[in-house]
Amino acid sequence: MKNIANILSVAIVTVLLSAGLAQGQCSADEKANACISKLQEGFTFLKTFKVDGQGGAKAKVEYSYVFSKDTQYFLNICNDGESTDGIVVTMYDSKRQVVSTNFNKGKFYPGMIFPCGATGIYYITFTFDGSQNYCGGSVLGFKR
Amino acid sequence: MATNSKNLDSLLLITTQNFNDINTYLQENKRSNLSVLILAGGWMEALHITCQVAQANPSNEQLIEKIGEQKITLDNIVQLLQFYTQDPAIADLHKQIVELKATFDQIEILTLYAESTMEEVNGIIVVKDNSSTTVKITTENVEAIRSQVLKIRESIIS
């Protein structure tokens, strides 16, 4: 009887630990997909970006994309609810000069519009500033 | 796909998701060389179509400029293929793509860098991009690219 109780308590602890781990996991895919419907009207979907900071272990998530001149791009950042949860997106040009960021004058913005004037490779980096979950999604759209 | 062909949003979403799924599967099965072939093949076909349309519309400067801008993407494709040249199928394609790159190298993309500015409009950041690019491409460049792409494409599909 004592053995059964021991096995049960081990099983319960294992289940609780697994649940805790699952809660800490980042469902960046889901967040990125949920972000698609939040694309500003008039913009056509291009790509989703997963933002998984692995609970704070990863300081930066970076992607690159070729932007074309005379095209407007819209990049939004999604999390649970309206907040961006401290996710900072910064766009750099091919010379690694900052072109834009959603964190301006101490305020986080949920999106940015970039009317591209110079065709080239751009780097889209996601970093975290006071984030709770280090997890989110982003969607890129375009219009001409 | 056919149902969504008039809806660019859905078409791009489906193709992107499909490619991501295929790419993940191929990477998990240590066949990422095939992902690179899909990518290079898709780009080649798009370039082939663009070149054919440009030939039929030689006064369409925007289209010709788009062909020239492919120099940037081509540089990345060459780098990607470079990783898999031990695969004979890729080595052959890589050789042809490097020859195509030599033609693209004659095109100049001049970039004038200038600091951008930002402002808030309706709760969104709106950037004013002050940089600009100019693509220097001749009719001869376009024709050389068109015929080279046609040759590569034929060697793939025959």
pLDDT in tens, A114-141: 999 999 999 999 999 999 999 999 999 9
Given a contact cutoff of 8 angstroms between Cβ atoms, the answer to whether B133 and B107 are in contact is no
pLDDT, one tens digit per residue, over B35-71 is 999 999 999 999 999 999 999 999 999 999 999 999 9
**CB contacts, 8 Å: B123 with chain A:** 109-110
Nearest-Cα residue of chain A relative to residue B135: A119
Give yes or no for residue B20 having a pLDDT over 70: yes
* Structure tokens that stand for A143 in this block: 């219009």
CA distance A8 to chain B (A): 37
Q: Do B127 and A113 touch (CB under 8 A)?
A: yes
Compute the distance between CA of residue B22 and CA of residue B149 in angstroms, rounded to an integer: 26
- What's the start-to-end Cα distance of chain B, in Å? 26
**Considering CB atoms only, which of A45, A94, A113 is closest to B126?**
A113
Chain B (62-101) residues lying within 8 Å, Cβ to Cβ, of chain A: 66, 69, 72-73, 76
Q: Please state the pTM of the whole predicted model.
A: 0.85
Selected for mutation to probe chain A from B108, B116, B134, B136 (highest A CB count within 10 Å) is B116
Point out the residue among B66, B129, B135 whose CB comes nearest to the CB of A116.
Answer: B129
Question: How close B158 gets to chain A, by Cα (Å)?
Answer: 31
Contacting residues for B74 by C-beta, under 8 A, at least 6 apart: B97, B100, B101, B104
Which ipTM was obtained for this model?
A: 0.86
Q: How many CA atoms lie within 13 A of A4 on its CB side?
A: 1
C-alpha to C-alpha distance for A80 and A32, rounded to whole angstroms: 11
How crowded is the C-beta side of B146, counted as CA atoms within 13 Å? 17
Q: Assess B144–A contact: CB distance below 8 Å, yes or no.
A: no
CA distances from residue B145 to A19, A126, B107, B133, B137 in whole angstroms, order as listed: 57, 37, 11, 21, 11
| DSSP label at residue A44 | E
End-to-end CA distance of chain A: 73
Helix ranges, A76-131 (H): none
In angstroms, the CA A109 to CA A87 distance is 10
Which residues neighbour A96 within 8 Å (Cβ) at sequence distance 6 or greater? A123
Q: What is the pLDDT of residues A23-33, one digit of tens each?
A: 468 999 899 98
Which of B118, B122, B134 should one mutate to test binding to chain A, selecting the residue with the greatest count of A CBs within 10 A?
A: B118
Which chain B residues are closer than 8 Å to A112 by Cβ? Answer: 118, 124-127
Least confident of A75-89, B100-114, B141-155: A75-89
pLDDT of residue A116: 98
pLDDT of residue B89: 86
* B124 CA to centre of own chain: 30
Q: What is the DSSP letter of A43?
A: P
In this prediction, residue B8 carries a pLDDT of: 77
Average pLDDT, chain A: 86
| Closest residue to A100, CB basis, from B116, B120, B133 | B116
What residues contact A21, with CB distance under 8 A and at least 6 apart?
none
**Using the 8-state DSSP alphabet, how is residue A40 labeled?**
P
Amino acid (one-letter) located at A32: A
